[in-house]
């Protein structure tokens, strides 16, 4: 109960602050940068070495990519069927495919599964969602905005210099080992900042405006992200008889709300920014119910 209270209180604080203009407008950027360069790498270095080097570690990565691939295909064909504009299609290819697997994923997974489950979450997030955002997300933004060609070299450089990803590469060499208590304590203190800061940043960026003409793509996006995605993950686990904690966490990660950063990328590329923001805003609220349903179904 305490974890869920923190989620709602922190998001509410962020949303209220954004409405009354107490903090500077670039506060979400500053919070996200702190998380990106300090909190997230610390979390990765703290949790990944505690995993056992086994087949289980690969399950979240496989599920992440299968879920995102099926979701992208669903968006593509439904957009053609319903004659969505190129801008709307591009927006949905981002926000209906990429999930909020870290900022919301971490507190929600911790609430349901505890601290020890975060290692599998980080595998799903870093080797799934993050790489997809950096490669697939950049390609979608460039292609659907028709602004410029995709720079493969720049994308590759962006991936290998991303702080949490660098931390992941280092952490993989320490799987199965224990750090000195002092190092472990410092990493724990820094990693613990990620949840309140991330949730406040989420609240600061929430937007809920939704004109009636956006209702159809809005419904399609949330249907794919909150319903189809976890169903694909559940089906995949059933097919391969994956019954472990890694599989359960991966299904929950697949059920997370649309990624805020994906909406930001869509907005910067001119891909239906108002629609993208509304999908993320309402998606976060609805995901608290849908993840609860998914959890009770798989446990």
| First-residue to last-residue Cα distance in the chain | 18
pLDDT recorded at residue 74: 97
pTM: 0.81
Provide the residue ranges of all domains of the chain, joining segments of one domain with +: 55-173+208-298
- Per-residue pLDDT tens digits for 93-123: 999 999 989 878 888 998 899 888 888 998 9
User: What average pLDDT is seen over the chain?
Assistant: 86
Place of tokens 């496989």: 62
- Per-residue pLDDT tens digits for 235-282: 999 999 999 999 999 999 999 999 877 887 787 778 888 888 788 888
Q: What is the CA radius of gyration of the chain?
A: 18
Residue 161 reports pLDDT greater than 60? yes
3-class DSSP state for residue 99?
strand
pLDDT recorded at residue 219: 95
Cα separations in angstroms, 259 against 44, 170, 253, 262, 288: 19, 26, 12, 5, 14
Q: Render 35-48 in DSSP notation, one character per residue.
A: IIIIIHHHHHHHHG
pLDDT recorded at residue 33: 81
- Per-residue pLDDT tens digits for 68-85: 999 999 999 999 999 999
DSSP code, position 96: T
Cα separations in angstroms, 78 against 71, 74, 106, 219: 11, 6, 31, 12
pLDDT recorded at residue 147: 54
* Top-confidence residue, 51 or 170: 170
- Per-residue pLDDT tens digits for 62-72: 999 999 999 99
- Per-residue pLDDT tens digits for 191-231: 888 778 877 877 887 777 777 778 899 999 999 999 999 99
Place of tokens 């849908």: 290
Three-class SS string for 206-233? CCCCCCHHHHHHHHHHHHHHHHHHHHHH
- Of 201, 209, 247, 203, the C-alpha closest to 19 is 203
């Amino acid at each position: 109960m305490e974890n869920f209270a923190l989620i709602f209180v922190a998001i509410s604080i962020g949303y209220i602050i954004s409405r009354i203009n107490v903090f500077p407008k670039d506060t979400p950027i500053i919070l996200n940068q702190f998380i990106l360069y300090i909190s997230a790498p610390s979390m990765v270095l703290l949790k990944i070495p505690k995993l056992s080097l086994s087949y289980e570690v690969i399950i979240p990565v496989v599920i992440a990519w299968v879920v995102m691939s099926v979701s992208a295909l669903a968006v593509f064909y439904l957009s053609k069927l319903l004659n969505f504009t190129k801008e709307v299609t591009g927006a949905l290819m981002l926000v209906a495919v990429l999930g909020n697997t870290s900022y919301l994923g971490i507190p929600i997974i911790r609430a349901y599964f505890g601290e020890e489950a975060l290692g599998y979450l980080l595998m799903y997030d870093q080797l799934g969602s993050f790489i997809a955002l950096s490669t697939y997300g950049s390609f979608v933004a460039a292609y659907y905005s028709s602004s410029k060609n995709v720079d493969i070299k720049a994308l590759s450089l962006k991936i290998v210099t991303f702080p949490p990803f660098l931390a992941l590469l280092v952490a993989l060499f320490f799987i199965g080992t224990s750090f000195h208590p002092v190092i472990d304590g410092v990493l724990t203190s820094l990693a613990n900042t990620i949840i309140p800061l991330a949730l406040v940043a989420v609240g600061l960026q929430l937007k809920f405006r939704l004109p009636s003409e956006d209702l159809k793509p809005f419904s399609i996006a949330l249907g794919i992200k909150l319903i189809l995605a976890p169903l694909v993950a559940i089906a995949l686990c059933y097919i391969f008889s994956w019954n472990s904690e890694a599989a359960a966490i991966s299904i929950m990660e697949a059920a997370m709300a649309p990624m805020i950063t994906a909406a930001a990328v869509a907005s910067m590329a001119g891909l239906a920014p108002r629609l993208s923001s509304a999908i993320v805003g309402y998606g976060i609220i609805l995901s608290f119910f849908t993840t609860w349903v998914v959890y009770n179904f798989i446990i």
